[in-house]
């Protein structure tokens, strides 16, 4: 069973609809007790870093999340800001993140290496380049890519945590993985066939 964490952020219904079409059981996890029943967890997210962390704190779910992810090693997938809050901190706000990765979230550079302006936010479809083998990316078309919408990006201290990169004026991290913790900067729930495949792959990890 896949538990989609409901703390007031993210495209929960869109993810539920995809799993329904795939005939894979997924449910909305509203409480700590429901989180403990999930075999895998999805942490969605839309919006700003501090606002997202405030919602997580207010939900009272962080202790249960940490226990399931860090102690019991339950696989988890963070999406967009749901991935960014897995870092230690963000330039976007002042709150501490979950700290599951040795990473920080930085604002996207407004210019590329040639000094040309880069439009922010990074919005729309973009290709990805896989940096290491991982079954989360099985059967993905990297050129078709995924749908992005963000102005901040995930900067890992350990290059080995980077699962995929994307070029948007400069090279940015588009997916991360460490043990059973995964994150995507893009929105798989908005990425059609590639996004559906990501959710299917995650269910099979």
Can you tell me the distance from the alpha carbon of 181 to that of 204, in angstroms, rounded to the nearest whole number? 14
Per the annotation, the verdict on 96 as an active-site residue is no
The one catalytic residue in 51, 80, 104, 143 is 80
Longest Cα pair distance anywhere in the chain, in angstroms? 52
Catalytic, 63? Answer: no
Residues 43/79, Cβ–Cβ less than 8 Å:
yes
Q: Which of 122, 150, 153, 187 is catalytic?
A: 187
Query: In the annotation, is 80 catalytic?
Result: yes
Catalytic residue among 122, 159, 189, 192: 189
Residues that are catalytic = 80, 187, 189
């Amino acid at each position: 069973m896949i538990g989609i964490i409901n703390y007031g952020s993210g495209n929960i219904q869109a993810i539920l609809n995809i799993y329904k079409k795939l005939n894979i059981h997924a449910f909305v996890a509203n409480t700590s007790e429901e989180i403990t029943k999930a075999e895998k967890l999805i942490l969605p997210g839309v919006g700003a870093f501090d606002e997202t962390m405030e919602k997580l704190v207010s939900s009272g779910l962080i202790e249960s999340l940490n226990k399931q992810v860090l102690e019991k090693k339950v696989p988890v997938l963070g999406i967009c800001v749901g991935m960014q809050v897995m870092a230690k901190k963000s330039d976007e706000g002042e709150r501490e993140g979950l700290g599951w990765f040795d990473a920080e979230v930085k604002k996207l550079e407004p210019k590329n290496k040639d000094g040309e302006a880069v439009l922010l936010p990074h919005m729309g479809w973009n290709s990805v380049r896989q940096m290491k083998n991982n079954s989360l990316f099985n059967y993905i078309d990297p050129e078709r890519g995924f749908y992005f919408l963000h102005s901040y990006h995930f900067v890992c201290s350990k290059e080995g945590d980077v699962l995929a990169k994307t070029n948007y004026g400069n090279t940015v991290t588009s997916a991360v993985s460490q043990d059973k913790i995964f994150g995507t900067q893009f929105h798989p729930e908005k990425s059609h066939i590639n996004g559906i495949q990501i959710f299917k792959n995650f269910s099979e990890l």
